[in-house]
Amino acid sequence: MDAKPKIAFLLMGFLLILGCATIPSEAPQLSAQLGTRISAVEAPHRRLLADFFNEKRRRVDEFIQEEWIPLFAKELFYDPAIADTWDEVVRSQEMGDRVKFILIAGPKLQKKINEKRLELIQPLDELERTIASRLKNEYDQMRAINNSLTSFLVSASKVEETRRRYLELVGISEKPFDDFINETDQAITELAGVGKTAQDIVKDAEAFKSKIEEIIKRIR
């Protein structure tokens, strides 16, 4: 996640040399090469972001399978109507009764599981899109600055006011992408912890949603 500040530092270095008496003939070519490098760095940066969120979605799926579904199933059979029906099915000698129960209850159970997964995955998806959009904007700004710098070097202008203006342009504020990533990682770790009570599982799922939504608000 350190590509942008490093590139911005290089851009500033190019701008600082404009205060010299002459501009090296290689400077415009080097600046153009830097523009190509910015795009080359962006692609793996975006892939790393996608891989990060894919792994977090996998962790959410593990939480649902290992923590939430067992709790949901346990609470389901606390329902007297469900428990009585299941007892009758178990006592029945008819295979058709058991198949019928599975055909009726199975889709309803799966629907609840899918709803819970969507409830936890959607905030992650939105957070990924938000960070990816901001990341793209940052790289677009760097390219725009680099294009302006290249044109500036080609023109061989060394007017102090112009040099200062370009230095100000390079001073793009760095958004704390690392902080967003670390906070998302921490939220997943807290969600997928082991040895929880039933109350903790429900509470942690709600806390996870709130944390992800808060990160999204801060990015925007």
Q: What is the tens place of the pLDDT at every residue in 21-70?
A: 455 656 666 777 777 788 888 888 889 999 999 999 999 999 998 888 88
pLDDT at 13: 57
Q: Which two tokens stand for residue 36?
A: 């190509």
* Listed residue (154, 172, 137, 177) closest to 9, CA to CA: 172
Whether the CB-CB separation of 34 and 10 falls below 8 Å is answered with yes
Q: How many CA atoms lie within 13 A of 95 on its CB side?
A: 0
pLDDT at 155: 67
pLDDT at 10: 55
Kindly give, in sequence order, each residue whose CB lies less than 8 Å from that of residue 18, ignoring residues fewer than 6 positions away.
152, 153, 157, 158, 163, 166
pLDDT at 50: 92
DSSP-assigned letters across all residues of 134-203: HHHHHHHHHHHHHHHHHHHHHHT---HHHHHHHHHHH-PPPP-HHHHHHHHHHHHHHHT-SS--HHHHHH
Q: In the chain, which stretches have pLDDT less than 70?
A: 1-29, 77-79, 81-91, 97-98, 100-101, 103-105, 152-178, 194-195
Domain count, the chain: 1
Could you count the other beta carbons within 10 Å of the beta carbon of residue 18? 21
pLDDT at 11: 56
pLDDT at 187: 85
pTM over 0.85: no
pLDDT at 172: 45
Q: Domain range for residue 33?
A: 3-219
